[in-house]
Amino acid sequence: MGDDQVKGLSRGLTNYGDKDFSVYLRNSFASSMGYSREVLKKPIVGIANSFSGFNNCHRHFPELVEAVKRGVLLGGGLPIEFPTISLGEVFLSPTSLKFRNLMSMDTEEMVRAQPMDAVVLMGGCDKTVPAQLMGAASADLPAVQLVAGPMMTSRYGEERLGACTDCRRFWGKYRAGEVGTEQINDIEGRLATTAGTCAVMGTASTMACIAETLGMSLPGTAAIPAVHADRLRAAEASGRAAARMIDQPIRPSQIITEKSVENALRMLLALGGSTNAIVHLTAVAGRLGIKVSLERMNELSDTTPVLVNLKPVGEHYMEDFFFAGGVGAVLREIKPLLHLDTLTVAGETLGDRLERDPGYVDHRVIAKAETPLELQGGLVGLFGNLAPRGAVLKRSAADETLFEKTGRAVVFNSLEDLANRVDDPDLDITKDDFMVLQNAGPKSASGMPEAGYLPIPKKLSSQGIKDMVRISDARMSGTAFGTIILHVAPEASVGGPLALVRNGDQIKLSVENKSIELLVSDEELAQRKSEWKSDNVPPEQRRGYDRLYAAEVSQADEGCDFAFLQPIPAEN
């Protein structure tokens, strides 16, 4: 019997040079956990549980995992939970992105190395879902993504609060002197008050919607609030769906295809979703040899309307999105733009799913395709001599009056430089300048943090300036907003053109032409390049994971994945 046909505990044996002994030993050790012989004969659904005391978004996983187990048992399988790395967004230094690939490797290898016939992946916080999808795509065992679900909102006086757009909104007011110290401290305790992921259409919510659109999560489950009883029912159903896939396997490679990735891009654009999601989707698709290009994203963006009125772009929160109809309602609005023959973990096609009665849809939250919030998608890729391999702008969260503009560069050459000088009253800057941050890309010491949302210098914010053009090779939180150009590739710390920008240079932005140009002659740029030196510590002078990361991480346009995790091309 091939290893693929062997089920349950006898899969993937530990090698002692005697197969029967390996089975005997494994059964004997498993018995020590109190399983009966009958149970040990069952096929196994692994449950990758990314619960951690360092991850507030996953604090309800102990309850959720019990519901997954119930579903697996109802489906005739044996549920076995195992831990993986967890990535709690605000608890990781220098930035969670650096550990996404590590979590994906943990997930892939533990799914492959341990005896399971299918797996439920429990994730939620920003990098955990992409990491699990990347790992599942590479392991290619039947897998169901179960997300944590979003937090509920809270209140401060008459204000409705939800992490983390309101965290930034109030912090901006505090910096501008509009909110006092006592008030900001009170608000701190009310921004995030339940289990679950950030309450707006940030990265976690965007990735949850993408997982559902790809077909890796059960229909209707992305937006269920973390604390809603439906979330427990979704967990039970996910366990059951994974158990069903033991006998009727549908592998991630059958679900994540060029067509479903294109559907996911449409969803990202219709949501006005997080810029991070383009990096993550590129990485997930890359694990199956599918390329996501910013050029293609621009083509889709031109024909995909923004429909979802959620913060940080609009007014509402994830719980409103759930009650308004969630992912299914958005999919129905953009149905003519979708590939309907893609598969889902429920064993049906997207077309089958969209045949069902949509139920109530609140069009204040999810606009009709005929009356969209914006005619074009929320993200746009920009190209030019400043970003030969592209950069990303979330136009739906930006100030349109800044879209066609030439400005003088005010350059910060690192995060430290930014922190030291941005609030200096003597900083030579006006609201019409372009703030430029260098050396914050994937190979920099800071590891591409969410620092692209450069703070407006105090001398300008105190005059009421709320937005300026800001350019960097960093990322920004999905919960942030502003005219912020991100993911410039190649990055400054490998000598990309961003490294060559100097104070006083003119930069021309044209969203209409999808371009970002440094108005400096080629000769001058060549001269600057010949004088440029990297500040990066070379990989061979580092150790451990930091060394691996520095050597292997790819640029933003390739998903910041490791080259060695890409599939090996089939021989001709």
Considering only residues 221 to 260 of the shown chain, the ones binding ligand FES according to CB under 6 A are none
Considering only residues 103 to 162 of the shown chain, the ones binding ligand FES according to CB under 6 A are 125-126
Can you list the pairs that 528-537 forms with residues at least 24 positions away whose Cβ atoms lie under 8 Å? 528/500, 528/502, 529/495, 529/500, 532/495, 532/499, 532/500, 534/493, 534/494, 534/495, 535/414, 535/439, 535/445, 535/493, 536/443, 536/444, 536/445, 536/493, 536/494, 537/445
- Minimum gap (Å) between residue 512 Cβ and ligand FES: 33
- Minimum gap (Å) between residue 338 Cβ and ligand FES: 27
- Of the two residues 195 and 437, which places its CB atom closer to ligand FES in the complex? 195
Q: Which of 469, 465, 503, 499 is nearest to 486 (CA)?
A: 469
- Minimum gap (Å) between residue 129 Cβ and ligand FES: 10
- Of the two residues 49 and 555, which places its CB atom closer to ligand FES in the complex? 49
Considering only residues 418 to 477 of the shown chain, the ones binding ligand FES according to CB under 6 A are none
Residues in the interface with ligand FES (CB under 6 A) total: 10
- Minimum gap (Å) between residue 89 Cβ and ligand FES: 4
- Minimum gap (Å) between residue 91 Cβ and ligand FES: 9
- Of the two residues 70 and 190, which places its CB atom closer to ligand FES in the complex? 190
Length of the chain: 572
What is the C-alpha to C-alpha distance for residues 449 and 418, in angstroms, rounded to an integer? 14
Residue 197, interface with ligand FES (CB under 6 A)? Answer: yes
Q: Which of 149, 3, 139, 379 is nearest to 131 (CA)?
A: 139
Q: In what order do the strands lie in the sheet with 143-147?
A: 78-83, 44-49, 118-123, 143-147
Q: With contact defined as beta carbons under 8 Å apart, do 191 and 168 qualify?
A: no
Backbone angles phi and psi of 261, in degrees to 5? -65, -40
Q: With contact defined as beta carbons under 8 Å apart, do 170 and 179 qualify?
A: yes
- Of the two residues 23 and 227, which places its CB atom closer to ligand FES in the complex? 227
Q: In sequence order, what are the residues at sequence separation of 6 or more whose Cβ sits closer than 8 angstroms to the Cβ of residue 486? A: 275, 391, 392, 393, 452, 472, 473, 474, 475, 476
- Of the two residues 191 and 241, which places its CB atom closer to ligand FES in the complex? 191
- Of the two residues 137 and 164, which places its CB atom closer to ligand FES in the complex? 164
- Of the two residues 275 and 439, which places its CB atom closer to ligand FES in the complex? 275
Which listed residue (89, 212, 433, 557) binds ligand FES by CB under 6 A? 89
- 8-state DSSP, 559: T
Q: With contact defined as beta carbons under 8 Å apart, do 208 and 335 qualify?
A: no
3-state secondary structure string, 101-124?
A: HHHHHHHHHHHHHCCCCEEEEEEC
Stretch that binds ligand FES, among 194-202, 260-268, 302-310, 336-344 (CB under 6 A): 194-202
- Of the two residues 85 and 338, which places its CB atom closer to ligand FES in the complex? 85
- Of the two residues 189 and 359, which places its CB atom closer to ligand FES in the complex? 189
User: What's the alpha-carbon Rg for the chain, to the nearest Å?
Assistant: 24
Which listed residue (90, 227, 337, 525) binds ligand FES by CB under 6 A? 90
- Minimum gap (Å) between residue 145 Cβ and ligand FES: 15
The burial of 57, by beta-carbon neighbours within 10 Å (0-12 exposed, 13-18 middle, 19 or more buried), is given as buried
- Minimum gap (Å) between residue 126 Cβ and ligand FES: 5
- Of the two residues 52 and 396, which places its CB atom closer to ligand FES in the complex? 52
- Minimum gap (Å) between residue 58 Cβ and ligand FES: 8
Stretch that binds ligand FES, among 198-206, 265-273, 300-308, 342-350 (CB under 6 A): 198-206
- Of the two residues 235 and 480, which places its CB atom closer to ligand FES in the complex? 480
- Minimum gap (Å) between residue 86 Cβ and ligand FES: 10
Tokens (6 digits) for 315: 């007014």
Stretch that binds ligand FES, among 197-205, 308-316, 452-460, 527-535 (CB under 6 A): 197-205
Q: In sequence order, what are the residues at sequence separation of 6 or more whose Cβ sits closer than 8 angstroms to the Cβ of residue 176? A: 458, 461, 462, 464
- Of the two residues 81 and 126, which places its CB atom closer to ligand FES in the complex? 126
What is the C-alpha to C-alpha distance for residues 251 and 545, in angstroms, rounded to an integer? 30
- Of the two residues 126 and 333, which places its CB atom closer to ligand FES in the complex? 126
Which listed residue (92, 143, 167, 204) binds ligand FES by CB under 6 A? 204
- Buried (b) or exposed (e) across 489-500, using 16+ Cβ within 10 A? bbbbbbebbbbb
Stretch that binds ligand FES, among 30-38, 196-204, 277-285, 534-542 (CB under 6 A): 196-204
- Minimum gap (Å) between residue 510 Cβ and ligand FES: 33
Mask for 21-60, x = binds ligand FES (CB under 6 A): ------------------------------------x---
Q: With contact defined as beta carbons under 8 Å apart, do 252 and 107 qualify?
A: no
- Minimum gap (Å) between residue 318 Cβ and ligand FES: 10
Residue 166, interface with ligand FES (CB under 6 A)? Answer: no
- Minimum gap (Å) between residue 49 Cβ and ligand FES: 16
Tokens (6 digits) for 428: 């030579």
Cα–Cα distances in angstroms (integers) from residue 538 to residues 49, 438, 499, 535, 553, in the given order: 35, 18, 17, 9, 13
Q: Which residues bind ligand FES (CB under 6 A)?
A: 57, 89-90, 125-126, 164, 197-198, 202, 204
